[in-house]
Amino acid sequence: MTAPGEVAGPGGVRFGVSLYDVSVSRLVEVAQAAEAAGFEHLWLGEHLIDPGDYASKHPAGTRDDTETEGLSPDDFRTRRIVETSTQLVDPLVALAAVGAQTSRIRIATGIYLLALRHPLVTARAAATLQEISGGRFMLGVGAGWLREEFSALGVPFAERSSRVEESVAILRKAWRGGRFGYHGHHFRFEDVQVCALPVNVPLIAGGNSPRALRRAARLADGWFSSATPTFEEAVELRDNLAAHCQAEGRDVECHVRVRHPAPEVVGRYLEAGFTSLVFWAQDVSPPGADTFEQFRKVAGSLGIPPPDLTAY
């Protein structure tokens, strides 16, 4: 899945950056710095609300799986993923700002909580963002894990997986252009239209569970790892996904978060054949550092070729 103008890094790998709990201004700054340094994609995670005192646990653990700006890895052994200080921005609105102020880097939700939205609303918003970004948007979707977030929005937590699967079917129909209907368990409507003409929005499925991997193999164009798996975990997840894809007769791209952008760390992934690696933004450029300079330094250390600016 290579966008026009993309130039892969060493070994054919494409590098990206991931953010969560950041302001829109910081997001745009990181996007511009990453683009200028030759990074290929940017991912923005989300939660809709802070439900207050919640008991739900992230299925991948609470260590440093969701690092945010200004916090050290040790903080994530005790800090919660959503709390009072968390900056909760709408990912599609925020990525529209990125799309309007960049020209090359691909932008993606990583991950958008599809089960909490009506798919017709999501279809229209995603199609709009695809136009704003000039075809650079990828919609990464997931079922969610924070039960209290579902309760606050009146969505049955137990139905989240089936809601995602119906929603994906509706998104595909909506983006084909023209009128359509749908009759499922969660969503039922007659002759409607979201897009007059076809819109190509790649769908990326998130989640590390066996069910999530099967869903990615059946329904998605790509898969994005939840949290930050170890190298061994990433290899196992990638191989399990490949087995499901083989059974489905399909192929999806695998995007994996990596714990550190050091060449010796990345080298293991290159040797193992990974083609899309994603770093947390604060691991590339810690808060307080010169963002553009830090991205250039990391890009240089990894052998990422600078973009051909004459093409834009």
Measure the CA–CA gap between 26 and 286, rounded to whole angstroms.
Answer: 12
Q: Give the pLDDT mean for 47-63.
A: 66
Tell me which architecture the domain covering 10-311 has in CATH. Answer: Alpha-Beta Barrel (3.20)
In this prediction, residue 310 carries a pLDDT of: 57
Q: Which of 15-24, 53-62, 142-151, 252-261 has the lowest mean pLDDT?
A: 53-62
**Three-point CA angle 40, 43, 47, nearest 5°:** 175
Domain residue ranges in the chain: 10-311
β-bridge pairing 106-109 and 179-183: unpaired
- Of residues 120 and 11, more confidence is placed in 120
Q: Give the pLDDT mean for 219-244.
A: 94
In this prediction, residue 4 carries a pLDDT of: 36
In this prediction, residue 85 carries a pLDDT of: 80
In this prediction, residue 287 carries a pLDDT of: 82
- Of residues 33 and 8, more confidence is placed in 33
The chain-wide mean pLDDT, for the chain, equals 87
Q: Which tokens sit at 196? A: 């007059």
Q: Give the pLDDT mean for 102-106.
A: 96
* Burial (Cβ within 10 Å: 0-12, 13-18, ≥19) of residue 210: exposed
pTM of the model: 0.88
Measure the CA–CA gap between 254 and 232, rounded to whole angstroms.
Answer: 15
Asked if the model's pLDDT at residue 132 lies above 60, the reply is: yes
Asked if the model's pLDDT at residue 288 lies above 70, the reply is: yes
Asked if the model's pLDDT at residue 9 lies above 70, the reply is: no
In this prediction, residue 218 carries a pLDDT of: 94
In this prediction, residue 60 carries a pLDDT of: 61
In this prediction, residue 6 carries a pLDDT of: 45
Give the confidence band of 25 by pLDDT, cuts at 50, 70, 90.
Answer: very high
* Burial (Cβ within 10 Å: 0-12, 13-18, ≥19) of residue 231: middle
In this prediction, residue 145 carries a pLDDT of: 82
In this prediction, residue 1 carries a pLDDT of: 41
Is the separation of the CB atoms in 108 and 220 below 8 Å? no
In this prediction, residue 259 carries a pLDDT of: 87
Q: Which tokens sit at 36? A: 């200028």
In this prediction, residue 59 carries a pLDDT of: 66
Task: Give the percent of the chain with pLDDT over 70.
Answer: 86
In this prediction, residue 147 carries a pLDDT of: 87
The model's pLDDT over 65-91, given as tens digits with 9 standing for 90+, comes to: 333 333 344 443 345 776 778 889 999
The model's pLDDT over 177-219, given as tens digits with 9 standing for 90+, comes to: 999 999 999 999 999 999 999 999 999 999 998 999 999 999 9
Measure the CA–CA gap between 144 and 81, rounded to whole angstroms.
Answer: 13
Asked if the model's pLDDT at residue 116 lies above 60, the reply is: yes
Asked if the model's pLDDT at residue 165 lies above 80, the reply is: yes
Q: Which long-range contacts (CB under 8 A, 24 or more apart) does 27-31 make?
A: 27/89, 27/94, 27/97, 27/98, 28/97, 28/98, 28/101, 29/291, 30/281, 30/285, 30/291, 30/295, 31/98, 31/101, 31/102, 31/105, 31/107
Is the separation of the CB atoms in 103 and 167 below 8 Å? no
Query: Which residue has tokens 């970004």?
Result: 133
Is the separation of the CB atoms in 299 and 37 below 8 Å? yes
Q: 14 vs 1, 85, 164, 230, 263, CA distance in Å?
A: 10, 33, 28, 19, 14
In this prediction, residue 75 carries a pLDDT of: 40
